[in-house]
């Protein structure tokens, strides 16, 4: 057993959410002195930002920046905080987080429990400039779908000075109706309004903050094609593929299989990579893809890169493999695994 296998055994004796809060505290204060070598020679300029390495921490792990600033020392090339919403909310009743240990998976129905976008902005004021920080934003539970755009605009404006990029979460299965925002009916209005706000704030603050949208792994080819058309039309800066899944067909028969919520980890590797392949095909390398879903090894990371991802993120892989997986993955990737995005060709 490696060191993390012992730590995981202890952590898995605790209820999942308790274990998670404990880990956030340990990371915040850098108790285990995680500082990692970051000399991987994997720098890339994506969305106009200089990424030291292509592997980031996915949204949901540190929603409110509770582990900030220690979290910057884990060895990731970038960190995505959030999802935060305009107003703080408690999320769904507990229990809402389940381990599917045999499948190396998690089901969560947290429901955007968070302290709101303003407290996160206050924390990130104290950031240093040498790491890329993204902020993932969502709509409040009680905001009707027709007004969701206002929640995204508000969050984007509040966080504009403190985030390097902003991800618009349209794909959590734990907020009723949220995934419908991926349909043309809502999506074009959301993208149009956000792009307007982006250029307005760029003029006001002298800072261009790229916008990505985060999509679900359960989309059909037709839906991915429609989303891609709108991303190209509105010249979005990036797409994060994917969020957690509502599909259970890829699961072994273990406890908690049928808990409601979003499935993450090894079982969604394939469906998430499939969405990346489709996006890559429809976007023709004109918009960067951040690939996420089941990455837990160099092979799974390379598979996402080979399918068209420009950057990577993970969450569940960290729970099952510990921070060692970051170095394992980054050591196995070389520059030839990375591709660059042809931004100039947009809308030609």
Percentages (nearest 5) of helix, strand, coil residues in the chain: 40, 15, 45
> Shortest distance, CB of residue 79 to ligand FMN, whole angstroms?
12
Asked whether 10 and 322 are in contact (CB, 8 A), the reply is no
83 binds ligand FMN (CB under 6 A): yes
DSSP string across 130-167: TSEEEEEE---TTS-GGGHHHHHHHHHHHHTTT-SEEE
Return the CA Rg of the chain. Answer: 19
Residues in contact with 10: Cβ distance below 8 Å, sequence separation at least 6, in sequence order: none
Query: Number of C-alpha atoms within 13 angstroms, CB side, residue 126?
Result: 9
86 binds ligand FMN (CB under 6 A): no
Of 152-171, binders to ligand FMN (CB under 6 A) are 169
Three-class SS of residue 174? coil
Cβ-count burial of 343 within 10 angstroms (0-12 exposed, 13-18 middle, 19+ buried)?
Answer: middle
Choose which of 53, 89, 92, 108 interacts with ligand FMN (CB under 6 A): 108
Choose which of 71, 110, 170, 289 interacts with ligand FMN (CB under 6 A): 110
Choose which of 58, 178, 289, 301 interacts with ligand FMN (CB under 6 A): 58
Choose which of 59, 275, 278, 289 interacts with ligand FMN (CB under 6 A): 59
- Which among 131, 171, 172, 245 is annotated as catalytic? 172
Nearer to ligand FMN, 172 or 307 (CB): 172
> Shortest distance, CB of residue 234 to ligand FMN, whole angstroms?
20
Asked whether 302 and 334 are in contact (CB, 8 A), the reply is no
280 binds ligand FMN (CB under 6 A): no
134 binds ligand FMN (CB under 6 A): no
Give me the residue whose beta carbon is nearest to ligand FMN. Answer: 60
Distance of CA 34 to the CA centre of its chain: 22
Piece in contact with ligand FMN (CB under 6 A), picked from 103-111, 184-192, 203-211, 336-344: 103-111
**Is 331 among the catalytic positions?**
no
Place of tokens 């070389």: 334
85 binds ligand FMN (CB under 6 A): no
Piece in contact with ligand FMN (CB under 6 A), picked from 147-155, 199-207, 309-317, 339-347: 309-317
Nearest to 112 by CA among 148, 78, 76: 148
282 binds ligand FMN (CB under 6 A): no
CA geometry: angle 303, 99, 8, nearest 5 deg: 85
What letter would DSSP give residue 264? E
Asked whether 313 and 58 are in contact (CB, 8 A), the reply is yes
244 binds ligand FMN (CB under 6 A): yes
> Shortest distance, CB of residue 346 to ligand FMN, whole angstroms?
25
Piece in contact with ligand FMN (CB under 6 A), picked from 26-34, 106-114, 116-124, 228-236: 106-114
Piece in contact with ligand FMN (CB under 6 A), picked from 6-14, 24-32, 123-131, 263-271: 263-271
316 binds ligand FMN (CB under 6 A): yes
> Shortest distance, CB of residue 279 to ligand FMN, whole angstroms?
15
56 binds ligand FMN (CB under 6 A): no
Sign of the CA dihedral 108, 113, 117, 118? Answer: negative
Choose which of 292, 301, 305, 309 interacts with ligand FMN (CB under 6 A): 292
Question: Which H or E element spans position 304?
Answer: helix 298-306
Binding footprint of ligand FMN on the chain (CB under 6 A): 58-60, 63, 82-83, 97, 106, 108, 110, 136, 169, 172, 214, 243-244, 264-265, 268, 292-295, 314-317
Active site (catalytic) residues: 172
């Amino acid at each position: 057993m490696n060191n993390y296998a012992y730590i995981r055994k202890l952590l898995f004796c605790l209820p999942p959410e308790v274990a998670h809060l404990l880990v956030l505290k340990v990371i915040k204060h850098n108790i285990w002195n995680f500082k990692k070598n970051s000399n991987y020679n994997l720098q890339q300029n994506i969305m106009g930002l200089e990424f030291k390495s292509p592997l980031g921490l996915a949204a949901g792990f540190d929603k409110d920046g509770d582990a900030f600033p220690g979290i910057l020392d884990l060895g990731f090339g970038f960190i995505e905080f959030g999802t935060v919403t305009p107003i703080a909310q408690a999320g769904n009743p507990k229990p809402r987080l389940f381990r599917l240990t045999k499948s190396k998976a998690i089901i969560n129905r947290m429901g955007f429990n968070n302290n709101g976008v303003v407290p996160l902005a206050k924390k990130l004021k104290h950031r240093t400039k040498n790491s890329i920080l993204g902020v993932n934003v969502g709509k409040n539970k009680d905001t009707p779908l027709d007004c969701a755009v206002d929640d995204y605009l508000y969050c984007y404006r509040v966080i504009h000075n403190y985030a390097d990029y902003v991800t618009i979460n349209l794909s959590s299965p734990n907020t009723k109706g949220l995934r419908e925002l991926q349909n043309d009916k809502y999506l074009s209005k959301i993208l149009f309004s956000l792009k307007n706000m982006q250029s307005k704030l760029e003029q006001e603050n002298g800072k261009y903050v790229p916008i990505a949208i985060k999509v679900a792994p359960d989309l059909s080819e037709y839906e991915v094609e429609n989303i891609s058309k709108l991303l190209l039309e509105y010249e979005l800066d990036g797409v994060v593929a994917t969020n957690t899944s509502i599909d259970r067909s890829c699961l072994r028969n273990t406890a908690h299989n049928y808990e409601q919520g979003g499935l993450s980890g090894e079982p969604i590797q394939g469906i998430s990579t499939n969405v990346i392949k489709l996006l890559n095909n429809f976007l023709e390398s004109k918009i960067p893809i951040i690939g996420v879903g089941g990455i837990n090894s160099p092979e799974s990371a390379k598979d996402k890169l080979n399918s068209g991802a420009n950057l990577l993120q993970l969450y569940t892989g960290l729970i099952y493999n510990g921070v060692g997986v970051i170095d394992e993955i980054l050591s196995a990737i070389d520059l030839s695994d990375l591709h660059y995005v042809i931004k100039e060709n947009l809308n030609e």
